Amino acid sequence: MKKINNITLGCDPELFLERDGEIVSAIGLIGGSKDEPKPISEKGHAIQEDNVLMEFCIPPAKTVEEFTESINFVKNHLTIITAAMGCKPNYSASAILAEKELDSDKAKEFGCDPDFNVYTQGMNEPPNAESNMRSAGGHIHIGFDKSEMTMEEADETVERLVKAMDMTVGLKSLALDKDDRRKELYGKAGCFRFKPYGMEYRTPSNFWIATDELIAWAWNTTYEAINLVNSGLVDELSDKYSEQIVKAINENNKSLAIELLEKIGEYSLQVA
């Protein structure tokens, strides 16, 4: 197994729009779309509308300082432009919207591109479009050097990364993310997309973009996953614990997550 190097991290978090204490639709207010994000800098920061939410992306970062600075740059931009509308960003991971805020075709669009489950090796079903609940993701993108890998090796590396992210970010986020509803729509274990530069891990909500400390947590915990892949232990750990990992993440089982993190840590130390 080849180690991954030349790593960059990115993200595409979603945020709700709040006015007078109520969550309102961002459709027609923010601009940009999945196909044509709206640039807000020359470096690659951009915003867009996704369903009723605001979404943003940042340029690939090589350091935690770059990562944090880019996220804060867009958060500040969204705070300024929404204030002019009498609104503000809302960092909730899920919300129930009034019927009037969902009265458009765009508000009923889910899952513009398919995502995959690393454990079933199949595509995930899109959420129920009839629900008035919407959720905000905090997807983490990992780029790495594929130049000396075959396509099969690159795909296998992505799958190992997804499993390692579940073992680190996925399990640890259960103690930090206060939202228990989002997984009714999104955020199940092993959820990802292949990307030309690497992969997109789609399990976490947006909880980790709220503060600099949580942003650093996301960066550092993602690197724990990368180190786990480079250690060569992921396949063994997945064979041993994947069923329980899926159960813990999908059922928001915090006590099981703590137990698994202890076992994974102890196993890694024993093998090392």
pLDDT tens digits, residue range 132-147?
999 999 999 999 999 9
CB 201 within 8 A of CB 187: no
Beta bridge partners of 56: 47
pLDDT tens digit sequence for 212-257: 999 999 999 999 999 999 999 999 999 999 999 999 999 999 999 9
pLDDT value of position 112: 62
State residue 223's pLDDT score.
97
| pLDDT reported for residue 43 | 96
Round the average pLDDT of the chain to a whole number and report it. 94
Residue that has been written with the tokens 């629900």 in this structure: 131
Q: CB within 8 A of 30, min separation 6: which ones?
A: 17, 38, 47, 48, 49, 54, 78, 81
Q: What mean pLDDT is predicted for residues 160-164?
A: 98
pLDDT band of residue 111 (cuts 50, 70, 90) is: low
N-to-C CA span, the chain: 17
What's the whole-model pTM score? 0.94
Residue 99 buriedness (CB in 10 A; 0-12 / 13-18 / 19+): exposed
Amino acid 245: pLDDT: 98
Residue 222 identity: T
Is there a contact between 132 and 99 (Cβ–Cβ < 8 Å)? yes
Tell me the one-letter amino acid at 74: V
pLDDT of residue 106: 87
Sheet bearing 8-11, strands edge to edge? 8-11, 140-143, 198-201, 191-195, 116-117, 122-123
**pLDDT higher than 80, residue 102:** yes
CA distance 38 to 60: 17
Q: What is the pLDDT of residue 253?
A: 96
Q: Are 207 and 93 in contact (CB under 8 A)?
A: yes
Mean pLDDT, range 176-181, rounded to an integer:
93
Which residue do the tokens 């999945």 mark?
34
Rounded Cα distance between 35 and 32, Å, is 8
Contact predicate 174/253, CB 8 Å: yes
2, pLDDT greater than 90: no
Q: What is the pLDDT of residues 26-61, one digit of tens each?
A: 999 999 998 899 999 999 999 999 999 999 999 999
131 band by pLDDT with thresholds 50, 70 and 90: confident
Task: Please report the pLDDT score of residue 271 as a whole number.
Answer: 58
Which tokens belong to 91? Answer: 């960092």
Residue that the structure tokens 């064979």 belong to: 239
